[in-house]
Amino acid sequence: MAPFTLVMGILSLCISCIDIGAAAQSGYTVVEQLRNVPDGWIKRDAAPASELVRFRLAMNQERAAEFERRVIDMSTPSHSSYGQHMKRDDVREFLRPSEEVSDKVLSWLRSENVPAGSIESHGSWITFTVPVSQAERMLRTRFYAFHHVETSTTQVRTLAYSVPDDVHRYIQMIQPTTRFGQPVRHERQPLFQGTVASLEELAANCSATITPNCLRELYGIYDTRAGPDPRNRLGVSGFLDQYARYDDFENFMRLYAPNRTDVNFTVVSINDGLNLQDSSLSSTEASLDVQYAYSLAYKALGTYYTTGGRGPVVPEDGQDTNVSTNEPYLDQLHYFLDLPDEELPAVLSTSYGEDEQSVPESYSNATCNLFAQLGARGVSIIFSSGDSGVGSTCITNDGTNRTRFLPVFPASCPFVTAVGGTYDVQPEKAISFSSGGFSDRFPRPSYQESSVQGYLEQLGSRWNGLYNPSGRGFPDVAAQATNFVVIDHGQTLRVGGTRSVVKMSVALRNFALTIVVVHLRLYLQPSSPG
């Protein structure tokens, strides 16, 4: 069997190389090209020719650097423009490509017979929907079904794509194409290995078991004089069929926040996201998120944004919608950017991340700019720093297999606040799985200069060559990240165990609560900026 497997592997690699080579044809320029199939994925059959796919095209922004400097300035307390946030239409106008650029790109789409009714223009982004067969002709590539073994998910992708030479310089990326992601399916491998909490554990001190009261005392999260304000909304992101259960939330509040039983949260569906109440799947992550976020963020409005996990595909009647399963973060970001200013959350926290090197660079750049756009409109965006330590696999995927500490995205984006994890009290200590390091793509922002430079001077030559000392450092802050009591499906659990894919969500919720308190206090001051 081994020789046969080796031959098939070589043949598959050769076919992949042929596909990539075919992407660069006369009159066309490659936009994005992967060296090989990402780890964990297997290429299978050609994608169904008639399958409809919704694409998002990002145009290059001439004023992107200027815009991002402006966002940093308005986020810096010592700067004269601090707190002077922009309106939705102002952001769009600032980043809108020239009429010439838009006309060139739209003209190309029309020349390829893209249905006019499917084309939508949103500033520097364009969405359009075409069948796989038409996309292959437009992008001079072949789409295949790729299977992720660990999670048994399948999605339609390619390893390279091209556009005509005369529009290449205007296009930053088109997705879904080379963006694979790292999916997780909860029913097959729970995000948390929760253990049933005993009465003795629940009565223990905060070093052994964390409850809302522990966090209030540890971080000084106390009630404010402010009443509910529609501008002060704490948003929690929900992906991958994690459902926030109302009965578990009610029981948790009754037991651990009895003076706040009037608190509840609303659910907003993005891209047909669900919040099933009768699902047998584990909802430990969602339970943790809403139970702690909204028991502590008293008087802030709570919204759970559940985003469907099958975003890129527009299914035809009878079509298998399991194809192209993914985590549609672009869909979520564009949903928020389209909202009127008064409907945006003040804080949005998300427990998600993957190795920066596994994300196409054009994708990470475009997505980071979208975070900047939300920040420009006054949204505090909080991400977990990751749970794979300082280096993850410590092996690069650029073909050299070099040893290197691998940063995590989106935590490495300078326009989000990355939160690491701690444990214990008196003193609080960094927890072993908490990720941190330096971006290989995003330079160090000005707001980090003094702190990071001092750290690097202390570090000296240790670990030289294993990280980028001029990159954006993360995490920015840290908070408790283990031994939390939650209620899921009526059972009281203490979140722990060795397998904790996004246990960092606990830490980021804690920091999100602090930001919410800051927002509440700012709203009490009429002269407050923002």
Whichever domain contains 217, its CATH number is 3.40.50.200
Q: What percent of the chain has pLDDT over 90?
A: 52
Q: Which pLDDT value is given to residue 312?
A: 36
Domain count, the chain: 2
Whether 210 and 290 share a structural domain: yes
pLDDT at 351 over 90: no
Beta-carbon count within 10 A of 254 CB: 12
Residue 77 forms part of a structural domain: no
Whether 163 and 204 share a structural domain: no
Whether 153 and 205 share a structural domain: no
* Token code pair at residue 424: 């214990």
CA distance 254 to 194: 21
User: What confidence tier does 527 reach under pLDDT thresholds 50, 70, 90?
Assistant: very low
Whether 48 and 164 share a structural domain: yes
The pLDDT tens digits of the residues spanning 240-270 come to 778 999 999 999 999 999 988 888 999 999 9
Computed over every residue of the chain, the mean pLDDT equals: 83
Angle at 299 between CA 297 and CA 304, to 5 degrees: 60
Whether 102 and 29 share a structural domain: yes
Whether 476 and 369 share a structural domain: yes
pLDDT at 189 over 70: no
Residue 479 forms part of a structural domain: yes
Q: Which pLDDT value is given to residue 108?
A: 98
Whether 100 and 205 share a structural domain: no
Residue at which a domain ends, from 175, 203, 227? 175
Whether 123 and 256 share a structural domain: no
Q: Which pLDDT value is given to residue 8?
A: 40
Residue 500 forms part of a structural domain: yes
The pLDDT tens digits of the residues spanning 392-442 come to 889 888 888 899 999 999 999 999 999 988 888 888 898 888 899 999 999
Burial status of residue 333 (CB atoms within 10 A of its CB: 0-12, 13-18, 19 or more): buried
Crossing angle of the two packed helices 246-256 and 284-296, in degrees rounded to 10 = 50
Average pLDDT over residues 460-489: 93
CA distance 270 to 305: 7
Residue 268 forms part of a structural domain: yes
Q: What is the 3-state secondary structure (H, E, C) of 204-241?
A: CCCCCCECHHHHHHHHCCCCCCCCCCCCCEEEEEECCC
Whether 394 and 284 share a structural domain: yes
Residue 454 forms part of a structural domain: yes
Give the domain range for residue 519: 195-312+327-523
Residue 181 forms part of a structural domain: no
b/e per residue, 4-26, with b = 16+ CB within 10 A? eeeeeeeeeeeebeebbeebeee
Residue at which a domain ends, from 115, 146, 175? 175
Whether 215 and 169 share a structural domain: no
* Token code pair at residue 519: 């927002």
Whether 163 and 306 share a structural domain: no
Q: Which pLDDT value is given to residue 310?
A: 44
Q: At residue 468, what is the residue type?
A: N
Residue 427 forms part of a structural domain: yes
Residue at which a domain ends, from 175, 206, 221? 175
Residue 190 forms part of a structural domain: no
